[in-house]
Each structure stands twice: as C-alpha cells, then as structure tokens.
Amino acid sequence: MNDNILTKLGISTLLKKDNLPSLYLGDKVYYGTGKQFFSRSPIDFNINAKFKKISNSKVEKVIDSLQDEFQLWQEVPAPKRGEVVKTFSLLVKENKRELAFLITLESGKIYEESLGEVQELIDICDFAVGLSRQLYGLTIASERFRHKMLEQWHPLGVVGIISAFNFPIAVWAWNAMLALVCGNTIIWKSSSQTTLCAIACHLLLQKAIKAYPTLPQNIFSLILANRQTTKSIVKNKNIKLISATGSVSMGKSISPMVASRLGRVLLELGGNNAMIVTNSAKLDLALRAVVFSSVGTSGQRCTSLRRLFIHKKIYKDFISSLVKAYECVNIGDPFKRKVLMGPLVSKKAYKNMQLTLKKVKDQGGKIIYGGERIKNNVPSGGYYVKPALVKIKHSAKIVQKETFAPILYLIEYDSFEEVLKLHNSVPQGLSSSIFTQDLKESEIFMSSIGSDCGITNVNIGTSGAEIGGAFGGEKDTGGGRESGSDSWKNYMRRVTNTINYSNEIPLSQGINFEL
Ligand code: UN1
C-alpha cells in the first residue's frame, strides 16, 4: 500500500498496533475491543486494514450525541451549512488522485472509473451547495377569507447512511451532502470492504468543519462495523431516516426493523437492468454502450447491464461484434493503464458467479464467451474473470435474479410489444435502456406503458447516471430516490401551516360550530 497517500490523508496517525479506530465522531475516535475484522484488497488479497468490533453501548452514546448536536446544527442557516460542503468539496478536489487510489485499492474498480467516482462526489457537493439556497416550499390558496396556507421543510434529525463497496464514496455523498445542507446530523455505516475510503472522507469532512470553529463540530460520525452492529443502528429510534444501498435481501432484512419503530427508509437495492437493441439502432454506438454497461466496474454496479434484448434481424451480427469487443477487453491490475476490467470484489463474488453459470447450463443456457477465472498476467490472489456472454431463454429462472458479476444474458426478440413485456417481467426495476432511431419506440419505452424502471434511457447505456437526476428504482429495487432533482425532500420533514389574518375564526369545509 502507498504509505504516502495514507499519511497525506491523515490515516497513518490513527494506526495503533495495526488497529484502526472503528468509530468516529467529529474529531474523536474510538478503538474497538471486540472481534477483529480485516478488509482485503480485491487486487491481490493483501490486508488493507484491521479493526475490532466496537460495543453497541459506545455506538448508542455516539447516536445520542448526534441527536444533541442536531439541535444546534438545524439552526445554522442552510447557506452556511452549504459553505461547509463547499469547503469539503475543495479538499476533495485537492485529494482527487489519492481518493481514487483508495477506491481502486479497496473496490478493485479501474483507476479511471475511480477518478470518475471522486468527480461524482465533487458534482453532488456542487449540487448540494446550490441547493442550500433553494430549500423552498409552496404557498397554497386557502378556502377561508384572509387565510394563508404554506409548506415548510424542516430538518429531520439524525440520518443513518449504509453504503456499499462498489461506490464507496459517491453514493455516501449523494446522501450525506444533501442530508447536511438539509440540517441533519449523520451516522455513516460504510461497507467493511472500503474502510480506508470512508476514513479518508470522514477526515476531510472533519477538516472542512474545523474551518468554521463557531459551528457545531460533531455533526457526522462514521462506523466500521459488521452486521450485528448495523442491526443496532437500524433499530435505534433516534435515527429518523435510514438510507441504505445494497442487495435486495439486505433491504428486506432492515426495512421491517425500521418499520417496526415507524422510522423512514430510503432503499436503493438491486437491479436486473436491460437494454433493447432494435433493428433501427445505431449499432456501433449500441455496442460501445453495451460493453461499458456490462463490463464496467466488473459488472458490479447496481446499474450494470444484465439482460440484452436484440432484434432478430440483427441478432447474429450484433452478437458476433459483441464477442469480438469482449475479446478486446483488457483484464488485470486495475491500476494499470489500458486495463478496462479489474477483479471481482471477493472469493464469495467469484463463487456466486460460478454458481450462476452452472445454473445457466442446468436451465438450458449456453455460455458463448468467458466466465472462467484468469490466472496469467494478473496479480496473484485476486479473482479475475473473463466477462461472460450467455445465450438463454428469458423464461429461465436464473434470468430473474441479479448476480453481481459480469454475466450478460442475450435474448433474441421479434415484436416490440413482446419485448416490453419481457423487459418488465423481472422483480427488479432500477435501470433500463433502448437503442432506436424510431421515435414511437423510444416514446413508448419512456411512457407509463413502457419500461417500469426508475431510470429509462434512450440511446445510452444503463449505467453511468449523472447526479442531477433522481436515482433509484421500483419494485424490488426499493422505491427510494437519491441524488438530484427533489430527492432532498427525503431528508426533511414537511410542515403545513395555516395562518389566519382576518377578524373572524371560520372553520374549513363551511362547518358551523357556534356556541
Ligand atoms: C451503484 O452502483 O450503486 O449510475 C450506483 C451509475 C453510477 C452510480 C451507481 N453513477 O452507474
């Protein structure tokens, strides 16, 4: 590991006997004393960081103090809160390469994509800074004489953010930067795979708030924890909103816990994203979009392309171009220039991929390219695979499932009506795309009778969304929306006010209630 980078980011000074703190609140750090856990780099399986489990009582205390600090932070004017985000963003810009290094080291995504991820964080900061002057409500016409109705948006309280390994800092920032300008305090449970990324961001954020010594200082905390500790966070009544990114099963397990205490959840769960390549599509563009969407981040984005519907007139030719393109994908050390695909995140991810490919065969599918592990010309220890192309019937059970790996199902279609039905027939509903030059097809695809996903693209791939739009999806994807548009409303509570400036006290609905 590059020690200079850890020193520059202030992480080295925290290392105590090979142990890093598991809990952070503002400037304070707490070392765990329980079971030890490690994070390993997917590149070569070397250990990056070691931690010990922190006690639940410590975590509860931190949440209590976030609750106290919230009382102060909510009163700081929103544009002032935005200034803290602006300062943080400048610090991130200064450390862009260092943060990208940590992302690649801990997630295994290629360095170029990691730079893109840091940029995504910077972009959402810009968005949040602008937003800090635009937290507006409506005024509503009252039915009563000389009455006024209006809506205000107030801060919520402590917000809990659970983030995944594949976007260790950008997806956290989608939530955290909005939650902060909205006046909330934050507890962040980062993926235990990407702990150094999380510590680095926490320390930069801490540096940013320190630049404003008169403002409350302990408004964000970070916890590096296992499942047990996560549960205790999710169940804590002081946390007003839990925003979680991860698998469908994770969402299904935490959602009832939050519901049982009538808290709020914002879920961004799995996708089973599809693209339709019609016979009018510009095939060279479609091909490039398919490759980035299916192979980018080693097929480990929630927006990764998993199902590809190809019109029967172009099916054969398109597939042979696709195989050729896949053959050109350089797989290996994600730090190396020209490498387009790094390793899978873990042995478990590799095993899942192989299990899925076995099921593919059992269910009548045929692997026409890739799927196997590569051991030559790649760092030893990591799980490097060739991305797989699979011919299979859409009715095969395995196609309904999201496997977080580079496996692309190829399905031939004939009629547009038929393909739309197939497209929507899976349990998940995150991202979708169509390549067509036919206006009617693209309009239908985007309409209410078209794709049932939260993200519906025309002539671009399924992955790589910009921060300006609301991000999220329907059905098993969880229904949450994060990032742009009016997603900020998730992090605030709405208040309806009715004001009487008349000399009477009329009741609504014309009710007469004279004494
Ligand atoms: C994710 O994989 O959880 O749209 C998020 C994209 C990225 C974000 C992915 N901007 O692919």
Confidence class of residue 202 from pLDDT cuts 50, 70 and 90? very high
Give the active site residues.
268, 302
Summarised one tens digit per residue, pLDDT across range 144-172 is 999 999 999 999 999 999 999 999 999 99
Residue 184 structure tokens: 């909330």
pLDDT in tens, 94-137: 999 999 999 999 999 999 999 999 999 999 999 999 999 999 99
pLDDT above 90: percentage of residues in the chain:
95
pLDDT digits (tens, 9 = 90+) for 11-45: 988 888 789 999 999 899 999 999 999 999 999 99
SS3 29: strand
Pocket perturbation via mutation, ligand 1, pick of 273, 303, 482 by most ligand atoms within 8 A of CB: 303
Model confidence at 74, in pLDDT bands (50, 70, 90)? very high
How far is residue 74's CA from residue 481's CA, in Å, rounded to a whole number? 23
> Which of 64-78, 219-233, 411-425 comes out lowest in average pLDDT?
219-233
Q: Indicate which atom in ligand 1 lies nearest the CA of residue 467.
A: 10
What span, in angstroms and rounded, lies between the C-alpha atoms of 48 and 196?
A: 8
Q: How far is the CA of 378 from the centre of ligand 1 (A)?
A: 26
State yes or no: pLDDT of 484 exceeds 80.
Answer: yes
pLDDT > 90? residue 227: no
Res 486: pLDDT: 97
pLDDT in tens, 269-309: 999 999 999 999 999 999 999 999 999 999 999 999 999 99
469 alpha carbon – ligand 1 mean position (Å): 12
- Each residue of 345-375: b (16+ CB within 10 Å) or e? bbeebbebbbebbebbeeeebebbbbbeeee
Overall size of the chain counted in residues: 515
Above pLDDT 70, what percent of the chain?
100
Residue 171 three-state SS: helix
The residue written with tokens 């070691």 in the block is: 50
- Ligand 1 atom with least separation from CA of 431: 4
| AA identity, residue 348 | K
Query: CA angle 471-475-481, nearest 5°?
Result: 20
Show the ligand 1 pocket: residues with CB < 6 angstroms.
Answer: 120, 166-167, 171, 245, 301-303, 463-465
Q: Where does residue 377 fall: left (phi above 0), alpha (psi -120 to 50 degrees), or beta otherwise?
A: left
Looking at residue 208, what is its pLDDT? 98
The reported pLDDT for the residue numbered 510 is: 95
Whether residue 1 is predicted with pLDDT greater than 80 in this model: the reply is no
90: exposed, middle or buried (C-beta count within 10 Å: 0-12, 13-18, 19+)? middle
**Hey, how many other C-beta atoms are within 10 angstroms of the C-beta on 30?**
18
Please tell me the distance from the alpha carbon of residue 55 to that of residue 146, in angstroms, as a whole number. 57
Task: Give the 3-state DSSP-derived string for 310-357, with helices as H, strands as E and coil as C.
Answer: EECCCHHHHHHHHHHHHHCCCECCCCCCCCCECCECCHHHHHHHHHHH
Average pLDDT, the chain: 97
Query: 344 C-alpha vs ligand 1 centroid, how far in Å?
Result: 17
Minimum-distance ligand 1 atom for the alpha carbon of 463: 11
Confidence (pLDDT) at 17: 78
Ligand 1 center–CA 463 separation, angstroms: 6
Residue nearest (by alpha carbon) to ligand 1 atom 1: 302
Confidence of residue 228 (pLDDT cuts 50, 70, 90): confident
Atom number in ligand 1 closest to CA 302? 2
Token code pair at residue 82: 């935005």
CA distance linking residue 446 with residue 357, whole number of Å: 32
Mutate which of 301, 404, 430, 467 for ligand 1 pocket (most atoms within 8 A of beta carbon)? 301
Task: Give 434 Cα–ligand 1 centroid separation in angstroms.
Answer: 18
Q: Which structural domains are found in the chain, ordered by start?
A: 3-269+478-495 (3.40.605.10), 273-471 (3.40.309.10)
